[in-house]
Structure 1
Amino acid sequence: MRLIGTVTPDRPLLVVAAHEEAAHLGDGLPVLLTGMGKINATAALATVLARGDRPSEIVNLGTAGALRPGWAGTHQVSRVLQHDLDTRVLHTLTGRTYGGPIELGAEPGPVLATGDLFVSDPEARDRLAQSADLVDMEGYALATVAQRAELPIRLVKHVSDEAGAGAARTWRESVDDCAKILADWVHTQLTF
């Protein structure tokens, strides 16, 4: 975890998992580098929010894999779910729902599936494509923390790969271009 800049109530906090994804953001807004995965994202954002000033909103920027054709480009997510928590079994066991989908209000937008798995297997991609359009490793965790802290959040994802065979190579080759596009999105869509 690394916080660059100062969190203030009049500006958004940019939250990014990997240093590579934040490479072109500059120093106009505070940036939280969480590390990859749900636990790192949760711990980093919860720690920063507990330390003091709260931002005007949280904006999660990052790359995502496309689970089916037609999802190239940059997208603001409308709904996020966890793909590696079996909510149906937990409901059957306890009668309560844990980790249900979170509606983000960005209409229309893709559904993002979050889990602690870099999806590079075509079978996993096809299974996830039944309930989501994109896949990442932090979005759901960040949305959960923001929801509990009663802060608005936007999940903005740029498609880096097709979440299938070769996804790791494609991500490594495209992440810098994705970071430039996400930085351009920040400068055109956010006021600061």
Structure 2
Amino acid sequence: MKLLVAALESELQAFPAELPGFDRLVTGPGKLKAAYGLTRALDAADYDEVLVVGTAGAVDDGLDAGVYEVSAALQHDVQDLDGVVGRHVSLPSHVQTGRDGHTIATGDIFVDDADAVARIRSLGGVLVDMETFAYIWVSQQFDVPIRVLRAVSDRAQDGATQIWDEVVAACSAQLWQRVRGEYAL
């Protein structure tokens, strides 16, 4: 059995309510809700894989609209005791999915600002979201393989919060098409 995970129900709106071979989990937005929700699910049942789907902002101008595989995540909203941004005092600076793909920067803020985009780029992120680091880290603690697919919803610049509401349905449809094809559903 696999676990299909999203932060928001709206990110799954194009998906059928029941998928053969998958349980479904909506955690809520942000790192704490993501960690709590996924921990509870993985503690309660055995899964072969965690499949995360959802939206992300693009902070790399080379990324067009579409669905991207995530290979690694970092936290853009933390710093260590020496003041190094992107390094947590007790967590790894990066977590890996074990797949080829792109690096996503996770933080508990909705990025809608050119200065934040520049900072995230300097850390190596090309996508930005609010949950992926937590999902990967928790999956690693339970030794469950994880796959993360993110659909670009916006450019994480001024006005991104307004645009996201308008495009989440299209992103969900793109994600469902990719999942349906790759998992033969």
> Which amino acid is 1:14 matched to?
L
Task: Give 1:148 shift.
Answer: 0.3
Backbone CA RMSD of aligned residues:
1.6
Aligned counterpart for 1:177 among listed residues 163, 167, 170: 170
Q: Paired residue for 1:149?
A: 142
CA shift for structure 1 position 169: 1.0
CA-CA distance at 1:71 after TM superposition:
1.2
Match of 1:116 among 108, 112, 122: 108
TM-score with structure 1 length normalisation?
Answer: 0.86
Q: Is the 8 A contact 1:122 1:164 kept in 2?
A: yes
Aligned 1:53-72 pairs, distance under 5 A: 53-72=45-64
Superimposed CA distance per residue, residues 117-169 of structure 1 (whole angstroms, 9 cap, x where no aligned partner): 10001110111011210000000000010000000001110100000101011
1:20 aligns with 2:13: no
Match of 2:92 among 93, 99, 112: 99
The total of aligned residue pairs comes to 176
Q: Counterpart amino acid of 1:135?
A: V
Q: What is the percent sequence identity of the aligned residues?
A: 35
Equivalent position amino acid for 2:67 in 1: T
Unaligned segments of structure 1, at least 5 residues: 1-10
Measured after TM superposition, the shift of residue 105 of structure 1 is 2.2
In 1, Cα distance between the equivalents of 2:2 and 2:170? 23
Letter in structure 2 aligned against 1:151: V
TM-score when normalising by structure 2 = 0.90
Tell me which moved more, 172-181 or 69-78: 69-78
Gaps of 5+ in 2: none
Residue 14 of structure 1 aligns to a residue whose secondary structure is strand
* 1:168 is aligned to 2:155: no
Q: Decide whether the 8 Å contact of 2:96 with 2:136 is kept in 1.
A: no
Aligned-pair CA distance for 1:87:
3.5
**Alignment correspondent of 1:158:** 151
